[in-house]
Amino acid sequence: MQIIPAIDIIDGKAVRLKKGDYDQKTIYNEKPLEVALQFEAAGLKRLHMVDLDGAKAGKVKNWKVLETIAGKTGLDIDFSGGISSEKDVEIAFNSGAKYAAVGSMAVKKPLVFQEWLSRFGVEKFILGADVLNEKIMVKGWTEATDVNVFNILKHYRVKGLEQFFCTDISKDGLLQGSSTELYQKIIAEVEGIKLIASGGVSCLSDLEELRQIGCSGAIVGKAIYEGRISLKELSIFNA
């Protein structure tokens, strides 16, 4: 299982939200590059970057941060937040993202998303499923839908997508453990899925649980910033 540290960006700064609430924001570092360089120095290979301004605005905003980190580290970056047009996809890839992580468009405009998969290559995309009570939330967790998480994952797995993020919003930023029951159910029901767990990781034992149930990766954010898990521990775990 691959450990994927997270950097969430608002106004060009590394922040974390609690349960997706923009009013419950903590700024951890005003220079996200410093954080990314620390991750790389610890031997981590990937980075999960979320443009929270972009997610709220419906278009990519913090591409310069992506460009800086991609240009000055060797991290494989998946970038999400505000990717709502072909131009946004191009901005993400031209700024150095290895993967574009898409959530809202895959749910609200599936035909457009399918065109992106055809043009840029299905291997370049990750579906981001943000979930509350097994229903998908979109637009930076600000808009509820009636779309069932299992249905959307199965739909895009058949289309050829392999990598999927799943964030349980009720767990995110609380450091109270991951939604292992939900993830187990997804892995059992969606054949061939590479599921990356996101939200709630608070300690190494949480990561061990996720590895044991078959997650292909786990995103770790607040636990790093709050000192619950050290980069050295993550490096050893990831070895």
Which positions are catalytic? 8, 130
CA nearest 223: which of 196, 197, 200? 200
CA distance linking residue 89 with residue 170, whole number of Å: 29
Q: Considering Cα of 201, then 206, then 78, then 146, what sign does the dihedral take?
A: negative
Locate 2 and state its tokens.
């691959």
Residue 49 three-state SS: strand
DSSP state of 44: -
Strands 125-132 and 163-168: parallel
Burial 81-94 (b: 16+ CB within 10 A, else e): bbbbbeebbebbee
